[in-house]
Amino acid sequence: MSRSIRLALGLIVALPALARAQAIGPGFELERSGRYVDAASVYFTTIRSDPTNIPALLGLERTLFVLSRMSELLPLVQNARARQPESPALRSLELRVYAALNEPDSLEAIARRWAASAPQSEAPYREWGLALADRRMWDEARRAFLVGRRALGGDGTLAIELAELEQRVGNWDASATEWGRAVTRLPDVEPNAASQLADAPAPMHDRVARALTAPGASVRARRLASEVLLTWGQPNEAWAAMEPTLAPADTEAPTALRRFVDLAGALTTRDGHRVRGLALARWADMMPGSTGGRARAEAVRELLDGGDKAAARRVLEAHADSNGIAQAALIHLLIADNQLDIAEERLSAPATAITADDRATLRLALARARVGRGELDRAAAALGDDSSVAAIAQRGWIELYRGNLKNAMEAFRLAGPYALDRAAATDRTAMMALLQRIQQESSPDLGAALLTLARGDSVAAIAALRRAAARLPEQGGRLEVLLIAGQVAAQKGGDQELTATALFDEVVRTGGEGAAPPAAELEWARLLVRTGRAAEAIPHLEHLILTYPNSAFVPEARRVLERAKGAIPKS
Amino acid sequence: MKRRDFVGRMGGWAAGAWLGRLPIRPSAHPPVIPSLLVPMDDAQTDHLKAYGLTYKAIQAGLKAEWLLNYRGGSFLIPDLDALRRDAALNGIRTEPVDSAMTTVRGEIEASNMDAVPLEKAPKVAVYAPPNAAPWDDAVTMALQYAGIPFTKIWDPEVMNGSLKDYDWLHLHHEDFTGQYSKFFLIYSGMSWLAEMVQRNSDTAKRLGFQTVPDLKKAVARSIHSYVGNGGFLFAMCTATETIDLALAAHNVDIAATFADGTPLDPDADAKLDWSQAFAFTGGHIETNPLVASFSDIDGHQVNGGARRQPLGAFKLFNFSAKIDPVPTMLVQNHRQVIPDFYGLTTSFNRNRLKPGVTILAEEEGAPWVKYVHGDLGKGTWTFFGGHDPEDPQHQIGDPATDLSLHPHSPGYRLILNNVLFPAAKKRELKT
């Protein structure tokens, strides 16, 4: 024994009883450094002077287990328990020692004796079962918990322990049933239950959900099912589990619905949005005043994102008279339904509660919808005197479609790179790049062609773009316009693929300094890959990479090349 | 090329379409030509493809060098148009060097660095079933991405002696205990599992084995012999742990009832013969058929419930390049600390490693290591824990990792180090 240990032991013996209980620090340190024999010596010395010192007994439990000397611990624990028979810690320790010594009969006898002395307590059965479970004696552990449940009565007794046990052995449906019992008895357990069940492997999901929603399942169990199903990305099934628990709504319903709404917010699918909207609408009805109004507006947006216009309209029409948010949402819906005149009428009504910000957003949406119909003057009128960058950007598009290229360019410049969302900013930037190549201030043909494209008539747009391109100089925008025509044709597919190929070929063969030739070659290769002609795409991609090594399209060309060669998986 | 064949293997131009594009004809005495440095530090634009470029050079019979510890373990290849073109197409950074090489060689000589000649491209075999499993295979993906050719082989090829045709063998997610990765009960009813069971059972029957575990044990023994006779073995994920369990269990049933119709031997732990294993000793079998874990060799126990350990990061050891070139080659990287990643076998507990095993990477302060290497007879083996270095928690059914999004992956570099190191010319080691 080293000098430091002798010193530590000397200190322990010299200190009074209270201090001795805290003086096992050297034992911990020895244990941490892996010197288990020395650590056990420290703990043994402590126990000799203080037989009920629980930290020292626990230290022995750890170290003697590693040293395979657990039998030495048993008499010490029995002695301590005899001195303090009411101590749950000592009782638990005694059970664990018997389990470690693989003496299940003695273990059961001790547990039953403890239970007899504490007839209302779950602790004896819990510790009995856990001691067995730690030894991976699953069946015996289950039996211990069930003995406790029978003895104490109550369907949810020891349900948490049984749920965790079943989970450890992979019986996920049995685990779900027990978690259902646990939350029915103790609502605070629900987040833990949901977190545990969320880990169930995919093949077990149906069985877990069925266990929680079986006929006779409690409201809390069904709500647990809804939460777990949301975690698994199954919003429709989740709502089917939740909705029946709301009629009639109990006092926990608002909290449960709010949690449902929050969890559904993580889903980005259409069904996810729709179900979140349905839940928000129900929650809004339970909330007073402005809270309910805001929630309702959010519900409508979610229902629209989820493609359920009918449900969105029902929510709005029930509350649109006095609520500005609901009025704005209803006008959005009318615009989406292409009922532009009614939307314009409602938007122009003098006595509305719609805020200025919402009004500006609606005007913009209305202008876009008018453009979609080719009504450029009415689109411009819808924007009124709005001087926001978003409105300026929209005016740029209107000018472009009128063929006023210079005005369009100025408007796009004025709007800057941050107006509206990223996709809109990217579209504007791409169009500015095209306009920069064109030296002319006006091109009604190009404007009309782009408007045709914006209105969704692809085939007519391709022809119109080709006509417009023919009137532009070769290095003054013609290639860029032909590229757009080729991209539209390639996207259209079918018969248009030949047109696309011809257009890309023309741009690549012409070449030059602009971005159009490498872009066209990349698009051409993509088209070939998409149509199952990967081998034909490879020379195009190699030509692009080697001919335009500094082009921004090279990294993407390399990715497509890898795919064409089968070197990376499809994503 | 086996280790025993290293010495004196020079030249030997490989035929192939790629060679046809070279501007010079190969000869026994290639002319002195300027070199291209393929830097492998942060200047490199695609670390993984750089291995493929070097492989192609030596496959074509050209002479390359691996500059150990120089700029992240750079390569030196001949400055030829075909190689420049290949580098440009694949986005690999190369730097022409001529007179500067004198300075570089001086720096190598004066530092913990070395220049190792790479002479013959190893023939690579990947042990994998013919069908597609619902999980990805890091090595196959790395080879495909880097453009290194390989052949897929499986139990029939191993049992008919085809291993001798290859220099390098890779194992990945295979379960050599014959228990279908212990997914049999957890994923019962899944079509991919049914197909896996059917295919393995049919193969066992066709090759004259009563059970799949019997077949897998025989395959493990063949692989063991292959290494003993000079082969290079690289294993990842479950293959590391289970091949050793299968070898140690040559006379004892460690397979659950679902796999072979009989319960496992209750005294299996005591009967395991670890002298037959590559890397491990003293492991205890996981007997629960519902827990997808095989033994206590794995430190992380990803499917072990409460035993599961969180992921940390592992650190590569720094070896002496001139004295220990083999481990040095295996740890060449531009990163020394790499985020860990799970697999059915994620790591190896230190107390289960045989004495003499070389630890290549470990998690500091943890009871496990990540990457180990050793010799067996005339060959070597390397075990790398975890499933996919760029998908720390790869789940069954997850899409395969797109390596074009991870061209600098330090974890994948470790895999490719293993592919190239059999190409190194053997020199007398000083230890």
Domain spans, chain B: 3-118, 124-423
CB contact under 8 A, B90 and A136: no
Q: SS in 3 state form for A332-354?
A: HHHHHCCCHHHHHHHHHCCCCCC
Which helix H or strand E contains B169, and what residues bound it? strand B168-171
Cβ contacts of A136 on chain B, cutoff 8 Å: 288
Chain B positions touching chain A (beta carbons under 8 Å): 85, 88-91, 136, 141, 144-145, 147, 185-190, 288, 290-291, 305-306, 396-397, 399-404
Q: How many CB pairs under 8 A join A and B?
A: 58
- The CATH homologous superfamily for domain B124-423 is Class I glutamine amidotransferase (GATase) domain (3.40.50.880)
Predicted local confidence at residue A513, as pLDDT? 81
CB contact under 8 A, B144 and A568: yes
Encoded tokens for A178: 């027990």
Largest Cα span, chain A = 105
Which letter does DSSP use for residue B278 in this model?
A: S
Chain A positions touching chain B (beta carbons under 8 Å): 136, 138, 167-171, 201-204, 542, 545-546, 549, 554-555, 558-559, 561-562, 565-569, 571
> In this structure, which amino acid lies at residue A97?
V
pLDDT band at A568 (very low <50, low <70, confident <90, very high): low
Residue A2, domain member (yes or no): yes
Question: Chain A: nearest CA to B166, how far in angstroms?
Answer: 22
Is A103 exposed, middle or buried, given 0-12, 13-18 or 19+ CB atoms closer than 10 A?
Answer: middle
β-strand pairing of B358-362 with B151-153: unpaired
pLDDT tens for residues A352-400?
Answer: 778 888 889 999 999 999 999 999 999 999 998 888 999 999 999 999 9
pLDDT of A1 higher than 50: no
Predicted local confidence at residue B132, as pLDDT? 65
Torsions phi, psi of B386, nearest 5? 95, 165
Residue A289, domain member (yes or no): no
Average pLDDT of chain A, as a whole number: 89
The H-assigned helical ranges of B376-409 are none
User: How far apart are the C-alpha atoms of A352 and B36, rounded to whole Å?
Assistant: 74
Query: Cβ contacts of residue B417 below 8 Å, gap of 6+?
Result: B73, B329, B330, B331, B332, B333
Among the partner residues A542, A554, A567, nearest to B144 by beta-carbon distance: A567
Mutate to test the interface with A, among B404, B406, B409 (most CBs of A within 10 A): B404
CB contact under 8 A, B402 and A568: yes
Question: Chain B: nearest CA to A561, how far in angstroms?
Answer: 9
Q: Mean pLDDT in each 10-residue stretch from start to end of chain B (431 residues)?
A: 35 36 42 82 96 96 95 96 95 90 91 94 91 76 92 94 94 88 73 83 92 95 96 95 96 88 88 95 88 91 86 95 94 96 95 95 94 95 95 81 92 95 66 41
Q: Is the separation of the CB atoms in B153 and B203 below 8 Å?
A: no
Encoded tokens for A477: 């925008």
Predicted local confidence at residue A482, as pLDDT? 97
Predicted local confidence at residue A15, as pLDDT? 42
Domain containing residue A74: 1-84
User: How far apart are the C-alpha atoms of B349 and A524, rounded to whole Å?
Assistant: 53
pLDDT band at A22 (very low <50, low <70, confident <90, very high): low
Q: Is the separation of the CB atoms in B236 and B138 below 8 Å?
A: yes
In the predicted model, what is the mean pLDDT of residues A74-79?
94
Residue A1, domain member (yes or no): yes
Predicted local confidence at residue B162, as pLDDT? 94
Residue A454, domain member (yes or no): no
Predicted local confidence at residue B194, as pLDDT? 81
User: How far apart are the C-alpha atoms of B259 and B46, rounded to whole Å?
Assistant: 44
Among the partner residues A203, A204, A546, nearest to B88 by beta-carbon distance: A546
Residue A547, domain member (yes or no): no
- Alpha-carbon distances, residue B151 vs A43, A211, B55, B236, B333 (angstroms): 60, 47, 16, 18, 26
Neighbours of B219 (CB within 10 A): 27
Q: For the packed helices B47-59 and B410-420, what is the interaxial angle rounded to 10 degrees? A: 10
Query: Cβ contacts of residue B149 below 8 Å, gap of 6+?
Result: B124, B143
Find tokens 């994503």 and name the residue: A571
Q: How many folded domains does chain A comprise?
A: 1
How far from chain centre, in Å, is Cα A362? 30
Helix and strand counts by DSSP (H, E) for chain B: 12, 15
pLDDT tens for residues A524-566?
Answer: 999 999 999 999 999 999 999 999 999 999 999 998 998 888 7
Cβ contacts of A567 on chain B, cutoff 8 Å: 144-145, 147
- Alpha-carbon distances, residue B379 vs A233, B240, B278, B415 (angstroms): 49, 16, 11, 18
Burial readout A19-40 (b: 16 or more C-beta within 10 A, e: otherwise):
ebbebbebbeebbeeebbebbb
Q: What is the CATH classification number for the domain harbouring A10?
A: 1.25.40
Among the partner residues A136, A201, A569, nearest to B186 by beta-carbon distance: A201
Torsions phi, psi of B382, nearest 5? -135, 130
Cβ contacts of A559 on chain B, cutoff 8 Å: 404
Among the partner residues B91, B186, B188, nearest to A558 by beta-carbon distance: B91
Q: Helix or strand or coil: residue A194?
A: helix
Mutate to test the interface with B, among A136, A168, A196 (most CBs of B within 10 A): A168
Among the partner residues B88, B189, B404, nearest to A562 by beta-carbon distance: B404
Cβ contacts of B295 on chain A, cutoff 8 Å: none
Question: Chain B: nearest CA to A54, how far in angstroms?
Answer: 25
